[in-house]
């Protein structure tokens, strides 16, 4: 039965906003000027933060929610949705971001976790949340907590797409595995994946995640964006990849086009021409396990 009342911030309006972002590129920005460049290039949303992941890596220490004043200035500078990051488990940072009126909160492993056991109970908020995952079980745990959008984590701030690929392949093959199971096997699957049983059943029946499935962490080129789209990502987050490159405007344009025409190599070739230098990139194998952001959250 449909309700006959007017209702704000329903599950459908939360997941609905994620639906509206599909096929698009969400760009990290640290100033209103960068936000305007992102919007002009065709970004579907911006992620407002003080430091992009590449700089968080260099800076070290504890990375926290950004200055609300800076987030508000970015909200005033653009008409597209503005997202902002809260630390894993830091529900007060999320409350502050909600009160600012941001359009999505990213409970993000890019910041230093505030709680090593519990993620935020996202059902308790009016604002929708996006959370990272490395595999299907982690995705379904976050959705169980109320995430309206999932993004595979990748390894932020590296300019290296290898982890994003690993995580997206893990999610997609996890989905295919559940789909092919007999209903009798789903409870054990839920137990092994440590995922809510009802969501495991839903994925078994529909063959897809219950919420939009985006990709993040290491995307630096139009070809990277198209690769993630072809692997099953419904939209792309680009963190350091744009404003840490030599020609952010041109690269932003190119990645937006690549996300739409991800299966048209001739267009990808065209937009990949003369983009200048990509961001400084890191071979993941050179990083200590302690330096891996994707290991944060569980």
Partner 1 sequence: MAEEKGLVIGVLALQGDFAVHQKMLAGLGVETILVRSPKEVAAVDALIIPGGESTTIGKLMRRFGLDEAIYQRVTEERMPLYGTCAGLILMAKEIEGSDQLRLGVLDVTVARNAFGRQVESFEANIALPELGEPPVRGVFIRAPYVTKAAESVQALGRFEEKIVAVRQGHLLGTAFHPELTDDTRVHAFFAALARESRNRS
User: Measured over all CA atoms, what is the biggest interatomic distance in the chain, rounded to whole angstroms?
Assistant: 57
Pick one of 36, 70, 80, 282: the residue that binds partner 1 (CB under 8 A).
Answer: 80
Nearer to partner 1, 104 or 243 (CB): 104
Q: Report the C-alpha dihedral over residues 57, 160, 90, 105, rounded to 10 degrees.
A: 130
Among 1, 7, 183, 289, binds partner 1 (CB under 8 A): 7
| Minimum distance from residue 79 beta carbon to partner 1 (Å) | 6
**Closer Cβ to partner 1, 177 or 249, answer by number:** 249
Minimum CB distance to partner 1 smaller for 147 or for 293: 147
Position among 22, 166, 169, 249 found at the interface with partner 1 (CB under 8 A): 22
| Alpha-helical regions (H) of 28-135 | 32-41, 53-59, 68-77, 91-100
As measured in angstroms, the least distance from the Cβ of 181 to partner 1 is: 25
In this structure, are residues 155 and 284 in contact, taking their beta carbons and an 8 Å threshold?
Answer: yes
From 14, 85, 122, 153, active-site residue: 85
Question: Mask of contacts with partner 1, 104-143, x by CB under 8 A?
Answer: x---------------------xxx---------------
Kind and range of the H or E run holding 253? helix 248-260
| Residues 220-279 contacting partner 1, CB under 8 A | 253, 256-257, 259-261
Distance in Å, CB of 83 to partner 1, minimum: 10
Of positions 27, 44, 54, 186, contacts partner 1 by CB under 8 A: 44
Which two three-digit tokens encode residue 35?
């936000």
| 85 flagged as catalytic | yes
Our CA angle for 114, 196, 7, nearest 5°, is 80
Neighbouring-strand partners of residue 237: 26
Cβ-proximal residues to 210 (8 Å cutoff; 6+ apart), any chain: 143, 199, 202, 203
Q: Is 298 in the site for partner 1 (CB under 8 A)?
A: no
How far apart, in Å, are the Cα atoms of 267 and each of 53, 225, 236, 237, 255? 29, 13, 18, 20, 11
List the catalytic residues.
Answer: 85
Which residues here bind partner 1, judged by CB under 8 A?
2-4, 6-10, 12-14, 16-17, 19-24, 39-45, 75, 79-81, 98, 101-104, 126-128, 253, 256-257, 259-261
């Amino acid at each position: 039965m449909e309700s006959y009342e007017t209702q704000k911030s329903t599950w459908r309006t939360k997941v609905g906003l994620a639906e509206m972002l599909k096929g698009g590129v969400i760009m990290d920005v640290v100033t209103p000027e960068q936000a305007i460049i992102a919007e002009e290039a065709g970004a579907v949303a911006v992620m407002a933060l003080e430091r992009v992941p590449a700089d968080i890596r260099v800076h070290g220490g504890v990375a926290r929610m950004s200055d609300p004043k800076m987030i508000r200035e970015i909200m005033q500078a653009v008409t597209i949705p503005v997202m902002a990051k809260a630390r894993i488990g830091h529900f007060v940072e999320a409350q502050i971001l909600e009160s600012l009126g941001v359009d999505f909160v990213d409970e993000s492993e890019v910041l230093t976790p505030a709680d090593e056991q519990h993620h935020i109970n996202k059902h308790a908020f009016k604002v929708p949340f996006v959370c990272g995952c490395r595999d299907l079980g982690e995705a379904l745990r976050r959705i169980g907590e109320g995430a309206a959008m999932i993004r595979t984590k990748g390894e932020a701030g590296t300019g290296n797409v290898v982890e994003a690929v690993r995580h997206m392949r893990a999610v997609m093959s996890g989905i295919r595995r559940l789909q092919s199971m007999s209903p009798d096997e789903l409870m054990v699957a839920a137990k092994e994946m440590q995922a809510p049983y009802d969501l495991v059943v839903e994925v078994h029946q529909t063959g897809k995640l219950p919420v939009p499935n985006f990709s993040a962490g290491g995307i630096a080129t139009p070809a990277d964006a198209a690769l993630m789209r072809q692997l099953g990502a419904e939209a792309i987050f680009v963190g350091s990849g744009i404003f840490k490159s030599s020609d952010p405007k041109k690269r932003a344009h190119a990645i937006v086009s690549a996300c739409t025409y991800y299966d048209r190599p001739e267009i990808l070739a065209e937009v990949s021409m003369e983009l200048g230098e990509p961001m400084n990139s890191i071979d993941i194998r050179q990083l200590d396990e302690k330096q891996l952001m994707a290991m944060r959250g569980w």
